[in-house]
Amino acid sequence: MKWIAGSAVLAVLSFAGTLAQASDFDARRTAARASLVKELDGYLAWCQTKSLFLTRQKACALLLELEPEHAEARKTLGYTRAKDGTWKAPEKPRELRDFDQKALGEAAGRWREATGSYVTAMVGLLEAGALSAEEKELAAREVLRFDAENERVHVLLGEVKGEKGWVLPETPRAKERRAELLEAVRTAFERAAPAAPAELTERERRIPLKFKAFAAPGLRVVGTSGE
């Protein structure tokens, strides 16, 4: 009975630990997202002062995914608010432009600054371990949304850098194997004995078609085409 009771206590503690980990992941992710929204608000304000209206619009589309009720983002994207508080999407997207080309060159760096802390927080969650497969996928997807070439995350996902970006290790190996197989096929054809004309069987001769036969070791072909 003592052993059973002890096992039950361990099971409860293990379950509680799992819940605590999940709660910690959710709490840290929520806090990081809240901080990211504030940083993006600053990025939107900078875009506005630099007349980067298209760049600002793109940032608002992403911001809306993070905070669906973000009023400024919805207004920028052309949403209108009804009396009951609901938002109505525009019939067609607004056509905006970026006017300050010098500032546009700075936008990428500003974007990295605004999203850097969030990326760092998500990478920290991944490196801490003890995440479920779903949480690992979510954290990695959040990082790659803002930093598509983040080497640390790709390595944690077990990926390698290929000619066209990050892929699973099997992808470049499959390409190598295809080349090996093609070479094997080419060599086999080169070493194969040439086909030679062969006699038609009695049954083949009775068929009212102009057949020809050719044979090589382990192979015999009959048809109406040329050699």
Domain annotation covers residue 180: no
Backbone angles phi, psi at 128, to 5 degrees: -70, -25
pLDDT at 209 over 80: yes
Q: What is the dihedral of CA 46, 42, 115, 55, to 10 degrees?
A: -40
Burial track 108-145 (b if 16+ CB lie within 10 A, e otherwise): eebbeebbeebbebbbebbeeeebeeebbebbbebbbe
- Shared domain for 66 and 6, answered yes or no, is yes
Nearest to 75 by CA among 90, 95, 97: 90
pTM (whole model) above 0.75: no
CATH number, residue 60: 1.20.1260
Burial track 198-207 (b if 16+ CB lie within 10 A, e otherwise): eeeeeeeeee
Predicted confidence at residue 110, as pLDDT, reads: 94
Domain that holds residue 225: 193-227
- Shared domain for 44 and 147, answered yes or no, is yes
Per-residue pLDDT tens over the stretch 186-195: 998 888 888 8
Q: What is the dihedral of CA 126, 127, 131, 133, to 10 degrees?
A: 60
Which of the listed ranges 47-51, 120-124, 223-227 does the model predict with the highest average pLDDT?
47-51
Per-residue pLDDT tens over the stretch 155-174: 888 888 887 788 888 887 88
Which residues are registered as beta bridge partners of 221? 214
Task: Give the mean pLDDT of the chain.
Answer: 85
Handedness of CA 173, 175, 176, 182 (dihedral sign): positive
**Cβ atoms 188, 203 nearer than 8 A:** no
- Shared domain for 144 and 224, answered yes or no, is no
Domain's final residue, options 141, 158, 175: 158
Cα(222)–Cα(129) distance, rounded to whole angstroms? 64
Domain annotation covers residue 104: yes
207-210 long-range contacts (CB < 8 A, ≥24 apart) are: none
Domains identified in the chain, total number: 2
